Structure 1
């Protein structure tokens, strides 16, 4: 169990417990990644019939919301590193769900936008996303889901 002191989360300490056991039981990164893997699995299962996985679906949503958008801007908004972003974008472009525009004045930036097919995919998969969202909320509890959303809203955009 963890307790809060002066705004800091401090791990519970058990006498003579190895440091590795304390870290394994109390590591925020480990728990966040565990939650991420479980939630990703919930959304992947729901979206699989549409030929898309959760990270790709998230990118489609961001492109729909903010497009046309550069890869670097999309990477900042999605918290993806360049190689991960490229790996998730390639199938979206290959399937014709995302289009790359002509290079901008700088010659490097090619804005990404949703195609009509990508927009149709979002609309068709909306009920699957909604079911996954409901399942994820049940897993986390209403309060937990609300807190997770509040934490995410406070996170800074990636700088790179």
Structure 2
């Protein structure tokens, strides 16, 4: 027997709806970028590094709200391609990373597909959704001011 509480959560929970919407939007960008061999998470990581300059992987994870393992995995891939480099390291590992000139070029290369995905995402979200998302711009602002 379904209770009123189960119906209310299943029918109205904003958390699950936002998670599903996030996955749909991420998938839209990832499909657009797949020919470039890069995901939207990796493009955003490179953009954050480009904006911040050299910084610790922990700082990037903090700003982008990513798990340490996600940051590590993506940084490893980006470093393997030469788009990101370790600028300081010690026995404990990488201390700071930076976007390389090759990484900057990669960002420029993906821009047409990124812009197309951006337009599709805006259509999916609608005007009100885009406005709501854009009120949270402090994410990239905060990376410039640790």
Query: Which TM-score tier does this pair reach, normalised by the shorter chain?
Result: 0.7 to 0.9
**1:9 equivalent in structure 2:** none
Tell me how far apart the structure 1 counterparts of residues 64 and 97 of structure 2 sit (CA, whole Å).
14
Structure 1 35/94 Cα, relative in aligned 2: closer, same or farther at 3 Å? same
Match of 2:50 among 61, 64, 76: 64
Deviations 1:26-64 (A, max 9, x none): 212101101100100110011111100111111011011
Q: Is 2:140 the partner of 1:148?
A: no
User: How many angstroms does 1:152 deviate by?
Assistant: 5.5
Q: Is 2:107 the partner of 1:116?
A: no
Name which structure has the greater RCO, CA cutoff 8 Å, separation 6+: 2
**Higher deviation after alignment, 53-62 or 143-152:** 143-152
**2:17 equivalent in structure 1:** 31
State the Cα RMSD in Å.
2.2
**TM-score normalised by L of structure 1:** 0.79
**1:138 equivalent in structure 2:** 123
Which structure's residues are more often helix, by fraction?
2
User: How many angstroms does 1:102 deviate by?
Assistant: 1.9
DSSP-derived class of the 2:55 partner: coil
Tell me how far apart the structure 2 counterparts of residues 20 and 87 of structure 1 sit (CA, whole Å).
37
* 4+ aligned runs moved over 3 Å, structure 1: 151-154
DSSP-derived class of the 2:118 partner: helix
Structure 1 103/90 Cα, relative in aligned 2: closer, same or farther at 3 Å? closer
Tell me how far apart the structure 2 counterparts of residues 98 and 152 of structure 1 sit (CA, whole Å).
24
DSSP-derived class of the 2:66 partner: coil
DSSP-derived class of the 2:74 partner: helix
User: How many angstroms does 1:151 deviate by?
Assistant: 4.0
DSSP-derived class of the 2:54 partner: coil
Q: How many residues align?
A: 139
Check conservation: 1:43, 1:53, Cα contact below 8 A.
yes
**TM-score normalised by L of structure 2:** 0.86
